[in-house]
Amino acid sequence: MTDYQRACPLADLPETGAVGVVVDGVPVAVVRSEGQVHAIHDVCSHAEVALSEGDVEDGEIECWLHGSRFDLTSGTPTGLPATTPVPVYPVKVDGDDVLVDVHHPLNTTD
Ligand code: FES
C-alpha cells in the first residue's frame, strides 16, 4: 500500500540540488543528483535545520550548519557530527510532477 502525493513540479528541481516542500504536513527535501530524484526528510538529525538549504553532490546532501553529509538513498550520515539517519521516502516522477510517499519511509531511523 502506497500513498504517493504530489510534492512539486519536476521543473522546480535544479539539475543538481534540492527544493524544500511540505507533503501532508511533513517537511521534505526533494533532491536531484546524478539524474536521480530523491526525497529525504527536510530536517537534519543533528539539529533542527533544513537539509534542503545544503549542497548536493555525488548522491549526498550536506547539512549547511555543521557539514554532516547524508546518503540520499539510505539517509545514512556519512560524516560527523550527525550519527542518526534521516528518513528517506519513496519517490517517483509522474509526467511533470514529483510524487512522494511520506507515510512509508524506506529506512529505519532508530
Ligand atoms: S545541524 Fe546538521 S550537522 Fe549539525
Asked if residue 30 belongs to a domain, the reply is yes
Asked if residue 86 belongs to a domain, the reply is yes
Asked if residue 106 belongs to a domain, the reply is no
Question: How many structural domains are present in the chain?
Answer: 1
Asked if the model's pLDDT at residue 109 lies above 80, the reply is no
pLDDT reported for residue 17: 98
Nearest-atom index, ligand 1, CA of 47: 1
Ligand 1 center to 103 CA (angstroms): 24
Asked if the model's pLDDT at residue 110 lies above 70, the reply is no
Ligand 1 center to 96 CA (angstroms): 32
Asked if residue 60 belongs to a domain, the reply is yes
pLDDT, averaged across the chain: 96
Tell me: the pLDDT tens digits for 37-74?
A: 999 999 999 999 999 999 999 999 999 999 999 999 99
Asked if residue 70 belongs to a domain, the reply is yes
Domain carrying residue 20: 5-100
4 falls in which pLDDT band (50, 70, 90)?
Answer: very high
Ligand 1 center to 107 CA (angstroms): 20
Contact 105, 23 (CB under 8 A): no
Asked if residue 45 belongs to a domain, the reply is yes
Tell me: the pLDDT tens digits for 90-103?
A: 999 999 999 999 99
Asked if residue 16 belongs to a domain, the reply is yes
